[in-house]
Every structure is written in C-alpha cells, then in structure tokens.
C-alpha cells in the first residue's frame, strides 16, 4: 500500500469516531484532507465543523459542510487530525502543515483527540521531525537564540521558492527546530511555551491524542492512549 492509501484507510476508519448531530473539529494536512472527503459523504449526519486552518475551512465549504467560528461553539465531541510524529503515549509533533496554533486551540475545546496517521509516524522518541514553533515576527531572532540554547538547531521556515518567511494564517512566522531528542515532551512543551514571543509550539504532549488510528500494511491499528 502507498502512504496515501494508508492515509485514506485511517481517514475512512475515523468516520466511526464522528458523533452524529455534533460539531466536529477538523485538522489540517493531507491525512485530514482525506478525512474531509470521507466526512462529506455523511455531512447530513453532523451539525457542522470547526476548522483548524483556512485551507481546511475552504475544503470543508467546497464540500458544502458548514464551518462554525470557534467563538460560537462551546464544546465539541471530537477533534480529528494527523500528526508528523506520535509516540506510544500519544504525544505528538505537529505543524508540518503550518497550522499548529489553530490545531491546538480547536483540539483544546474538543473532548477527544483522534489522531489519524500512516504507520511511519509512530516513533519511539519524538524529534527526528524538526519541531515547529510559531512566533511573533519581531521575536524571531530572540526566540531562535533561546531554542538553540535548548540544544536544537532552529531554522526559519521560508515561503516555498522564495527567501521570504512563511506567514501563517495568524500572521506569525515558523521556526523549525531540528536535532532535538525529546525524551520529556511535557517538560519541553512547558519550557518552549514560556519563551516570550512564542505563539505556540507544535508539541502536543500535555494534551496529546486519546486515540490513534494507525495505517499499516496489516490494516488500521487502533492505539488507545
């Protein structure tokens, strides 16, 4: 099976976690896109969605699925999203698709986080994937120095094909921190959250996934975390 077929399989399996008549939190990225396409098939059975990025909102609307402003939603039964890495405890690195801040916000309002990922995303130790950190642009250099002091190699994410910074949906910039061997994800998330100028860090450890649907050659494995 190709990686896309594995992503499609977990996206299909995630439909079992959609609660009828409810608002569903929807993530960002290629796996989340497959999920949106599956959700479209049962769109009449949900009240609507909250999107974790402009790209996701536009794909949902393209399918005729209602998208609510999070400020108008008090609670959500479930948030469904991919990950760049996940460990056996449900801690994740996210933000490869640049939506980490909104993903964290939407997930924080949902009762359950269902992670959907192809098997390659399951790791023993987080950190081989460079950790994304969203920053206020004027704090970029200062935050990069502090991330380097934590032992990482920070690099500003650039807009593809340019030498200009990539700008997020929130007007922030992204620093990708390579070379971290994250043995205590909760502590690192807390440390980075405390750096002035950081909007959010793509470590989802204090509040990680509750369930992970992992696409493997032997079928979709369910990890209850």
Residue ranges of the binding site for substrate:
28-31, 81-84, 94-97, 121
Q: Closest distance between ligand 5RP and the C-beta of residue 149, in Å? A: 25
The one segment of 15-23, 62-70, 79-87, 138-146 that binds ligand 5RP by CB under 6 A: 79-87
Strand 110-118 to 211-216 pairing: parallel
User: Restricting to residues 154-183, which ones interact with ligand 5RP according to CB under 6 A?
Assistant: none
Nearest to 33 by CA among 8, 15, 64: 8
CA 151/CA 107 separation, integer angstroms: 28
Residue 30 interacts with ligand 5RP (CB under 6 A): yes or no: yes
| Buried-exposed string 3-20: b where 16+ CB fall within 10 A, e elsewhere | eeebbbbbbbbbeebbee
User: Restricting to residues 87-126, which ones interact with ligand 5RP according to CB under 6 A?
Assistant: 94-100, 103
Q: Which residues contact 157 (CB under 8 A, 6 or more apart)?
A: 98, 132, 165, 166, 173, 174, 175, 176
The one segment of 81-89, 154-162, 163-171, 184-192 that binds ligand 5RP by CB under 6 A: 81-89
- CB nearer to ligand 5RP: pick between 98 and 106: 98
Which residue numbers are catalytic? 103
The one segment of 54-62, 77-85, 135-143, 184-192 that binds ligand 5RP by CB under 6 A: 77-85
Is residue 106 a contact partner of residue 68, using CB atoms and an 8 Å limit? no
CA 187/CA 103 separation, integer angstroms: 20
Binding site for ligand 5RP (CB under 6 A): 27-31, 81-84, 94-100, 103
């Amino acid at each position: 099976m190709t990686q896309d077929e594995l992503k499609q399989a977990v996206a299909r399996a995630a439909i079992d976690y959609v609660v009828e008549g409810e608002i569903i939190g929807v993530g960002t990225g290629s796996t989340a896109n497959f999920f949106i396409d599956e959700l479209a098939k049962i769109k009449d059975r949900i009240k609507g969605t909250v999107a974790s990025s402009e790209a996701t909102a536009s794909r949902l609307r393209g399918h005729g699925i209602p998208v609510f402003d999070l400020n108008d939603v008090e609670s959500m039964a479930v948030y469904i999203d991919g990950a760049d890495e996940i460990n056996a405890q449900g801690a994740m690195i996210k933000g490869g698709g640049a939506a980490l801040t909104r993903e964290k916000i939407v997930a924080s309002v949902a009762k359950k986080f269902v992670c959907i990922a192809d098997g390659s995303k399951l790791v023993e130790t987080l950190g081989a994937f460079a950790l994304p950190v969203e920053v206020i642009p004027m704090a970029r250099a200062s935050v990069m120095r502090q991330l380097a002091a934590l032992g990482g190699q920070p690099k500003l994410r650039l807009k593809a094909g340019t030498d200009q910074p990539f700008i997020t949906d929130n007007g922030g910039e992204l620093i990708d921190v390579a070379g971290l061997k994250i043995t205590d994800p909760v502590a690192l998330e807390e440390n980075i959250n405390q750096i002035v100028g950081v909007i959010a860090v793509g470590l989802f450890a204090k509040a990680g996934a509750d369930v992970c649907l992992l696409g493997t050659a032997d079928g979709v494995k369910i990890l209850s975390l």
